[in-house]
Structures are given as structure tokens and as C-alpha cells.
Structure 1
């Protein structure tokens, strides 16, 4: 059987409360937040479609992890379903500082052949975040 997708990635954080608030403002569901707050779980996750980001809060060390897993080490590209202007509005309304974009990028669809534009920002831990809008060929700067 071939590899068909990504189930999850792991992301350490220096401030779990700040990270939860940031991703909630963007509309991402937080899995196991109540259990984590109650001390019944060591971690929580951010749901992204059928995949998730496992968040490793301050003080948690996974038994298996990358050797340089520290807050700010993650670079994630989200796919936004909508227009470039709708994506910009969503980011601005969530209080996200757009650091670049929209800029043309090659994503994974069609092995990099499907046109797309991306916005870039950073989360509270300084992770690089990208929102890619496929089939976007024009946008207001």
C-alpha cells in the first residue's frame, strides 16, 4: 500500500494558552482541550481537516521526537478554500499580521502544476504559517 497522506505533525509550544487562543481565533477546533486543562492529558491537538497538529505544551517531552523540536521550529502550509480576498479578510479579522502575500507558490496539488497564491504569517511561538489558495491567479496587493 502506498503512503497517501499526513495524519499528524507535532509542534512544541512555549505558551499553550496563547497558542490555543490564536488558533481558535482562526476557527481551528482544539481536540482534548478540556482534558488537558483538567490535567488528564499531557497534550492537546489542533484539528486541520482530516489531519491534526499534536501540540506539546511547555514541560512535555515526547519519547520520540525530532532532535531540534523547540517552539518556533514548525513551518506549516494550510489550504484555504475560498478567494484570496476571503483569506486576507479571515486573517485580518483574526488579528493575524500578514508578513508576505499574496505571492505565487507551487503546492502539492498536481505535483506543483495547479496555480496558487499564498499568504504568510507567524503564530505566537514564531512558527511560519502559510495559507495557500489554489486556482488563484489574480489578487489585489
Structure 2
């Protein structure tokens, strides 16, 4: 074998390897693109609303109004607004109707555990809860919240018995 033929075979092998690697790169790049295209284009950003059944309509609405929430009423539900989020409380006329299936199978009051961020002091929160007639059942106690690693929480129950947590960061 001469130097010329060795160089020739080396060049052929280099071209073959480059083509093979190029084909692999194209294949991998196509597979990555196909996988990316198959993935959903979006993500969960947070809560829009929570829905809970409500038994004691009058007491519940008075309680949430006393806490300073905006309350909107309809025949079958009441909506309580917290900033740009909402809690839908389904009146008994709705959740006791067997044809209403957009709920958990055993959803009856009390079944909720809701946590609200309080941006005031613990003293101001206690005063607000006293005005609303809410008895503190625990707290303030240290808790880890969804927004920060540590906070201080106070727990009360609403008139239907749902557990409410107010966290201060």
C-alpha cells in the first residue's frame, strides 16, 4: 500500500464518518424538535378559583363580608373575591341536586381548607377576626407557605366549619 492510497482511504473514511455523524445530528435534531412539538405549550400559573359547597348561606356571606371580601350572589352560588382570585360557594340548591356532577363525589360542608395571605400585623388580624366573630383555634404558629419559606399562621373556622388559615410573611 502506498502513501497515496493510504491518504485516499483516510479521506474516504473521514467523509464516511462525517456523513454518518451528520446523519446522526440530523436524526437527533429531528427527534428533539418532534419531542418539543409534542409537549404542551404552556404551564399552570396558579389558582383562578376554588369551589366549595355552602350550608349556612346567610352566616357565610355575613362572615366573609365582615372579613372585607367582596361578595357577589346568584341563585345557585355566591362568589367571594380575594384580589383577582375567587371562591365559589355553591348553595344547597346546587350541591344537593343529584344532577350537579361538577363537584367531588362526597363534597358536603365542611370540606375546605383555605389559606389567605394577610399583609397586616398579627394584632390587626386578630381585631378583624374578632369583628367577624371568628374564634382563633390555633396560632400564631410558624408555617411554611407557598410564597415564602416561613411565615406565621392563624387558624379559624368559617360558619360552615371550613378551616381558614391566614399567613403573615
Q: Which residue of 2 aligns with 1:124?
A: 159
**What's the counterpart of residue 58 of structure 2?**
17
Give the structure-2-normalised TM-score: 0.70
Q: Provide the TM-score with structure 1 as the length reference.
A: 0.83
Return structure 1 stretches of 4+ with deviation > 2 angstroms: none
Q: CA deviation at 1:14?
A: 1.1
Aligned pair 1:70/2:111, yes or no?
no
Asked if 1:55 is matched to 2:96, the reply is no
Aligned counterpart, 1:101: 139
Aligned twin of 1:4:
45
**Is structure 2 residue 82 aligned with structure 1 residue 82?**
no
SS at match of 2:92: coil
Give the whole-Å Cα distance in 1 for the aligned partners of 2:121 and 2:64: 20
Q: CA deviation at 1:59?
A: 2.1
Question: Which residue number in structure 1 is paired with residue 14 of structure 2?
Answer: none
* Structure 1 CA distance for aligned equivalents of residues 76 and 110 of structure 2: 20
1:85 is displaced (CA, Å) by 1.6
Q: Which residue of 2 aligns with 1:139?
A: none
Across the two proteins, how many residue pairs are aligned to each other? 124
- How far 1:75 moved relative to its partner? 0.5
Query: Whose radius of gyration is greater, 1 or 2?
Result: 2
Structure having greater relative contact order (Cα 8 Å, sep ≥ 6): 1
RMSD: 1.2
| Gaps in structure 1 of 5+ consecutive residues | 135-141
Structure 1 position 133 matched with structure 2 position 168: yes
Q: Secondary structure at the match of 1:60?
A: helix
Q: Structure 2 CA distance, aligned partners of 1:96 and 1:44?
A: 20
| Distance of 2:117 and 2:94 partners within structure 1 | 29
C-alpha distance in structure 2 between counterparts of 1:104 and 1:97, whole Å = 19
Question: Which has a greater percent of helix?
Answer: 2
Aligned to 2:76: 42
